[in-house]
Copies of this chain bind each other. A is one copy, B any other.
Amino acid sequence: MSTEEIKGTNSRRTEDIDATCEEFCFNPIAVDYVQKRMLTEKESTLLTEIFKALSSKTRLHILHALSQRELCVCDLSLVLDLSVSAVSHQLRLLKAARLVKYRREGKNVYYSLDDDHVVSLFAYALEHVRHS
């Protein structure tokens, strides 16, 4: 019997479902409904990329600083009270996520924000945090 196939709550999987659903805890209609509206692989990947970029204090401070003014790596390290190297490593991630852009001016490299939408996402979240 199919009920035999589902053993242990820790390893229950979609493939195990069959017609004799009623006897189990789950609501097959709800599961089906939600499953049909799942985020696509691409959507969830893009979303996590954005949120991951925003999910460290260091990067949040970098982004917030750059939202006010273009700054070089050295300036940022002073503002954040962090080593130049640490800042550079984080800028690398933000660059990869296309959240910041840079321009070289002599020996200095100046960073600024690149993605308007993430800026407003950030502002939106900050607004919330400040008024609640």
Instruction: List chain A positions with a Cβ less than 8 A from chain B.
Output: 9-14, 17, 24-27, 30-31, 33-35, 37-39, 43-48, 50-52, 54-57, 60-61, 64-65, 68-69, 71-72, 74-75, 77-79, 81, 83-85, 107-108, 117, 121, 124-126, 128-130, 132
Contact = CB atoms under 8 A, between A and B. Distances in A.
Q: Summarize A's interface: helix, strand, loop or mixed.
A: helix
Contact of A27 (B14, B46, B72, B121): B72
Contacts of A74: 9, 12, 24-26
18 contacts: A12-B74, A25-B72, A25-B74, A26-B72, A27-B75, A31-B71, A34-B71, A39-B60, A39-B126, A43-B126, A44-B61, A47-B54, A47-B129, A48-B60, A51-B54, A51-B55, A51-B125, A121-B128
